Every structure is written in C-alpha cells, then in structure tokens.
Amino acid sequence: MSIQAVGASTSNRRKLENALAYVGVGAFVFVLAFPVVWMAITALKQNADLYPDDAIPFWFKLPPTWDNVDLLLHKTQFVQWTITTAEIAFLVVAITAVVAVPAGYALARLNFPGASTLGILIFLTYLVPSSLLFISLSQVVVQLGLQDSRFALVVVYPTFTIPFCTWLMSGFFKQVPREIEEAARVDGCSRLGAAIRVVLPVSVPGLLSLVIFAFTLSMQEFIYALTFVSTSAEKPVTLGITTDLVRGDVYFWGSLMAAALIVGVPVAILYNFFLDHFVAGITGGALK
C-alpha cells in the first residue's frame, strides 16, 4: 500500500472518529438541555396553549407571553422567597464551615483513639432520613422559640450539612502532606497558625466543595421547610412556589417553570465556573 493511500485511510478514520465524537456529544447535550428548553417553552406559553389535547408540548400554537412571569413576580412573594432562601443558605454555609473545617482537621491530624471510627459515625448520621428526625428537631425549634421562622431552618439544616462536610474535609486534609505543616511549625508557627497559613490555602478546592454542597442542600431542601415554616413571608423559594402556585388540583405550570428557571439557571451557571475546583475537592486531585 502506498504512502498516499495510508495517509488517506488515516485521514478518513480521523474524520469518522471526529464525526462519531460530535454525534455522541450532541446527543449528550440534547439530553441535558432538553428539560431546560421544555421549561423555558412552558414558562412562555399561554394557558390556552398548555392544556388542549392538540397542544404541541415543544412548540407554540399561540404567541408567547410574559403573563406567567408577571404572575410570579407581581402576584406572589417570589422575590421575598428568593431573598429568604439566600439568607438561609449563606447562614447555613457559614455555620457549616465554622464547625466542619476544624472538626475535619481534628479528625485528620490529631492522633486520638477512635478517630477513624468517629469519622465514619459522623458520616453515618448524614444518612439518617430527614423524615425520621423532624419530630425530635421540632422540640428543639420550639424550645428555642423559632417556630414558623426562617431561623428555624438555619438551626436545623446544619444537622445534615455538618456531618457530610466534616467527613469531606477530613478526607481532604488527609491528602495534605504533613511535611509542609511540620515545616511551618519548625519555622515558628503554632499548630493553629500552621493550619491557617499553610493547610487552609492549599485546601481551597475542599472548602469550595463544602460551600457548594451546603449551599445546594439549603436551597433545595423541602421537608424541614414544610414542617417548620408556614408564614408566606418566611418561606424559602422551594416551599413558596409549591404551596402558592399549586392550589388544590390547579397547577400554574407556566409560573412554576418560570420560577425554576429563574432560581436554577443562574446557580447552575455560577457552579460551572467552580466545577474544576469542586471535582478536585471531592477527589483530592488538587494535591496530587
């Protein structure tokens, strides 16, 4: 076989591989984008275009409308729900970080009996279903006088964010070489100073993983919010849109989809910027 024929065969094979790769990636993108596109179409449809049997689910038979968005923004407390959700999430992230980071460091660095077993037990508490805990937690909320308040959720949510994040940070701190911490201590740093000046700066991916995990769980949690909050102004967005936009057997599908897009898409885009750090934090790859 001539050199030209071999080169042409190799070129054709590469074109075929590239074409198959584009087809595979295109199918993957379509599957992932399909729910978002469907939500966007539904959010802009008129009610008369949603329910008829001959309606086209993925297209418009009637002109698009902003009525669903107007209902959401001006006839519900959606803006207040979103602000409340952000407040709860930021407070839960702060509490989780303050507790989980030193706890994870202690499990990873302090050689005390039963440290590994304690780490596993802490993680196992995260696996306890929330439906089993809200009865006992309701007593705590009542004793603190926080019933029907957003701050009840600030107290309750760390009960499932702290165990997982402690286990996560413990695993990440174990990946940090002890030598760099010991070198800092030789240079005159205390254990606390070495942890703050040396260990934490190289643990940024792990810290970002903690923030993303705690923030996401606080945003999407529903059972505790339904149990402890009933006043509309105190509701987080997940509870507000489902209780105010689902009235008996009447579903305001357009407004529901608009709310999901407004809340979910900006957060997804923001997370995309930190995706590499998040993966490195979960796998410990940033330290290899």
Supply the CATH number for residue 225's domain: 1.10.3720.10
Q: Quick one: 129 and 241 in the same domain?
A: yes
Q: Cα separations (Å) of 2 from 6, 8, 9, 11?
A: 6, 10, 11, 14
Q: What is the distance between the alpha carbons of residues 275 and 282, in angstroms, rounded to a whole number?
A: 11
Q: Tell me phi and psi for residue 129, to 5 degrees.
A: -60, 140
**Domain range for 36:** 3-65
Closest to 218 in 3D by CA, of 103, 93, 79:
93
Q: Quick one: 60 and 113 in the same domain?
A: no
- Decide: helix, strand or coil at residue 250: strand
Q: Quick one: 13 and 44 in the same domain?
A: yes
Q: What is the domain count for the chain?
A: 2
- The domain boundary, picked from 32, 65, 98, lies at 65
DSSP state of 129: -
Residue 180 is encoded by which pair of tokens? 């760099």
- The domain boundary, picked from 65, 88, 114, lies at 65
What pLDDT is stored for residue 90 in this prediction? Answer: 93
Helices (DSSP H) in the chain: which residue ranges? 3-43, 67-74, 78-109, 115-126, 130-143, 150-156, 158-175, 178-186, 191-194, 200-202, 204-220, 223-228, 237-244, 253-273, 275-283
Closest to 225 in 3D by CA, of 245, 250, 242:
242
Q: Quick one: 213 and 269 in the same domain?
A: yes
Q: Cα separations (Å) of 11 from 5, 16, 19, 188?
A: 10, 9, 12, 62
What pLDDT is stored for residue 92 in this prediction? Answer: 93
Q: Quick one: 167 and 275 in the same domain?
A: yes
Count Cβ atoms within 10 A of the Cβ of residue 11 and give its class: 0-12 exposed, 13-18 middle, 19 or more buried.
exposed
Residue whose tokens read 């602000």: 83
Q: Cα separations (Å) of 78 from 45, 242, 262, 271?
A: 20, 11, 10, 22
Count Cβ atoms within 10 A of the Cβ of residue 177 and give its class: 0-12 exposed, 13-18 middle, 19 or more buried.
exposed
Q: Quick one: 256 and 146 in the same domain?
A: yes
Query: Within 13 A of 193's CA, how many CA atoms are on the CB side?
Result: 9
Q: Are 255 and 179 in contact (CB under 8 A)?
A: no
The 10 Å Cβ neighbour count of residue 226 is: 16
Query: Within 13 A of 25's CA, how many CA atoms are on the CB side?
Result: 6
Residue 242 is encoded by which pair of tokens? 């489902």
- The domain boundary, picked from 34, 65, 96, lies at 65
Beta strands 250-251 and 246-247, pairing class: antiparallel
Q: Quick one: 118 and 190 in the same domain?
A: yes
First to last CA, the chain: 46
Q: Quick one: 41 and 28 in the same domain?
A: yes
Amino acid identity of residue 40, one-letter, is A
What pLDDT is stored for residue 285 in this prediction? Answer: 47
Q: Quick one: 104 and 229 in the same domain?
A: yes
Q: Quick one: 56 and 117 in the same domain?
A: no
Q: Quick one: 176 and 242 in the same domain?
A: yes
Mean pLDDT in order along the chain per 10 residues (288 residues)? 55 76 84 85 84 75 86 88 91 92 83 69 72 79 86 89 85 79 75 77 81 86 86 87 82 87 82 68 51
Q: Quick one: 282 and 208 in the same domain?
A: yes
